Amino acid sequence: MEVLQLTTIIDEAGHLCLDVPTQLVPGQVNIVLVINPVQPSLVPKRNYDFSDLVGRLTWQGDAVTTQRALRDEW
């Protein structure tokens, strides 16, 4: 069994012609063909803008001491 993946062209008449060399012995074979159209991405992917979620925290005091105090409350 061989698994092959290739990109080729379908002509204007809608015909797909395949010429694929194999290492198989001559004889009958079963072929499974999955046709997946290759379409260029018309709309470029945009990265999400997180600027509306960005903020800055100003901390007053010692962060470690506050963390320990909160942990001790448990």
Q: Which residues contact 17 (CB under 8 A, 6 or more apart)?
A: 8, 11
Q: Give the residue-averaged pLDDT of 22-41.
A: 82
pLDDT of residue 30: 87
Residue 13 buriedness (CB in 10 A; 0-12 / 13-18 / 19+) = exposed
Q: Compute the half-sphere exposure of residue 45: CA atoms within 13 Å on the CB side of its CA.
A: 2
Residue 36 contacts residue 16 (beta carbons within 8 Å): no
pLDDT surpasses 80 at 17: yes
pLDDT surpasses 70 at 41: no
Q: Give the residue-averaged pLDDT of 41-50.
A: 73
Using 50, 70 and 90 to split pLDDT, how confident is the model at 15? Answer: confident
Identity of the amino acid at 34: V
